[in-house]
Amino acid sequence: MNSEFEHFIFSYPLTEASVKDPMTGMNGNEPKPGDLIEIFRNVYEHWAVYVGQGFVVHLLGPDGTLSSSNINLPIGKNNVLKQKLLEVVSTDCWTINNLLDHEKRPRPAEVIVSEANKLVGTTRPYNVLDYNCEHFATELRYGNAESQQVEEALMVGLGVTGLSLTFGVIILAVLAWKFKSSSSN
């Protein structure tokens, strides 16, 4: 995320007009059936699929609620719900984000909506790394379950781990060199 976009997201005012008109996201567009809805929670993004008439289908959030300021990392089963977009969004900001359209062909809207509606009331396996609400939404739209949140988090984690290992090796090399230098004197 670039800082200009982050500034826009976190400074987006929740006005009376935006509460009355939940069908227009941060980007000013109205969702169409089959669109992915990204909802900006405090510590993560929640994802849903717009199915028309003001409703979305989504995999219930990781703590069993619609909104969360803290995040658990459960493994188990969570409910698939169909709710009004405004209910799911609550006071959070949201946008239409068909994030993989540039690299994958979305399935036809009627297929996405039909499959989403068939899943309502069922439970799905939930694992924050392997199958979360973003995996659920992208699977419905593209036929493949993917989560860029997880991929980005893993890349950051691997980067930090790699950096830590690099510094550790450098420190060990310096210590070994100092030990060898002091031993030879």
Of 7, 58, 102, 135, which residue is the catalytic one?
A: 58
Catalytic site includes residue 133: yes
Of 7, 93, 133, 135, which residue is the catalytic one?
A: 133
Closest by CA position to 132, among listed 58, 51, 65, 81: 58
Residue ranges in the chain assigned as alpha helix (H): 3-11, 16-20, 85-89, 109-119, 133-142, 148-184
Neighbours of 173 (CB within 10 A): 10
Catalytic site includes residue 93: no
Helix axes 148-184, 133-142, angle to 10 degrees: 120
Round to whole Å and give the CA distance between 145 and 36.
Answer: 13
Of 7, 46, 102, 135, which residue is the catalytic one?
A: 46
* Active-site residue list: 46, 58, 133
